[in-house]
Structures are given as structure tokens and as C-alpha cells.
Chain A
């Protein structure tokens, strides 16, 4: 079974500080992608970052970066210089291998940012 686990339901960070959101997944595949999505209180999901499993280099998008450890099946999201607008639910997602590539989402982490 392909599963995605986000074990921390809530996290809090001080504005301008750095926070890391954890995600682990289970797969028998060797080639795949991983995604982090953000869902602000307005509820529209937004793609934050994507990691290709065959690339050893961790993906980076501005203040967002990934710590991808393939052997450990770990895919953490680091948010640097946290801003109030980063407050949201964050979901880790893994696509099922195959033509349909449907995403399986974790339960999410609620991130609050303290001013």
C-alpha cells in the first residue's frame, strides 16, 4: 500500500524564524515525484514545491526548500523567514505510480505563525 504520513497535526513558528514540517511515505517504486501543497483558510490548495525522486538535489522555491531522504522515505518541507501569510494547512502528497497518477495526501499539518 502507498501511504503518506504526517505525524505532527499542528506546529507554530515565530515570524521570521524557520520551521520544518515532516512527512514520510511508503512506496516500492524507485522513480516518482513528491509534492507539498498549502491550503490557506480560503481553502484553495496551492502547489508549494515538487521533488523528483531521481534527483539527489533538494528542490528549492524561494523561502521553501525540501529535505528529501530517499532511503528513509522522508520528505520534509523547510520554510525560512516565516511570514504571517504562511499560516495554513500543509499537505504532503505522493502520486500513485501508473497512468492515473492520482495523488495520495497526508492528513496535513496546521501551521500557525506568531507575530
Chain B
């Protein structure tokens, strides 16, 4: 499978717990993006990596959120002290270049109870 993989597909957690999501992009793609999508809305940008460098973070990404992409391969998104408002679909996408568009993963659905 040469697509973008995300793990887990679903995560239910109690408020206050920490969660970590993983994204494996297409291996040839040096650009990796994280988005958040709530029901009935379009995806909202969270952060962007080019290779291992995190080049942009949205104001949506509070200090409880952190993302990494060690060695420019897979990426992780961690949410500390989860809140009910964090419940959403977290989408990862990768791209080979500026104008190529994205290939998305299937997303991780987070439910905070």
C-alpha cells in the first residue's frame, strides 16, 4: 500500500488524558500536513512539515498540541490534557510539491468523553 496511513482509526479517551496519533506519508513526499475536521465542516490547517522541519503552525494549535516528524518520515501528533472540544477527525496529508495537491489518509477520529 503506497497511500497515506494513519493510526489509530478511532480513539476514545477520557478528558485530561494524553493521546498520540501517527501518520505515515507516501515515502516520496517531503511535505506533510495535519488538519482537523469537525462534523459538517471543511478541514482546518494545523501544522506543516517539510522533511523534518516544522515550518508552520496554526493558531488553532494550542500549547497542548505538539507534532513531530523525526527524520522526515512518519509524523506524530500529540494532544496533552485532552478537552471535549478536541473531539474531531484528525487528517494527515502528504504532497510531493507545492502545486500537486494532497494525498490524504483516512484520518483518526478522536472522541473525548
Where the two chains meet, the residues of A that have a C-beta atom closer than 8 Å to any C-beta of B are 4, 33, 35, 37, 42-47, 50, 52, 91, 93, 95, 99-108
A to B contact number (C-beta, < 8 Å): 61
Give 3 nearest A-B pairs by CB, closest first. Answer: A105-B42, A45-B104, A101-B98
Q: Which residue of B lies closest to A49 (CB)?
A: B101
Query: What are the residues of chain B within 8 A of A99 when measuring CB–CB?
Result: 50, 55, 98
Q: Is A107 touching B41 in the complex (CB atoms < 8 A)?
A: yes
Where the two chains meet, the residues of B that have a C-beta atom closer than 8 Å to any C-beta of A are 31, 33, 40-45, 48, 50, 55-56, 89, 91, 93, 95, 98-99, 101-107, 109
Q: Is B41 touching A104 in the complex (CB atoms < 8 A)?
A: no
Query: What are the residues of chain B within 8 A of A91 when measuring CB–CB?
Result: 42-43
CA distance A82 to B43 in the complex (A): 25
Contacts A104-B45, A105-B42, A107-B41 given; indicate if A47 touches B56 (C-beta within 8 A). Answer: no
Query: What are the residues of chain B within 8 A of A46 when measuring CB–CB?
Result: 104
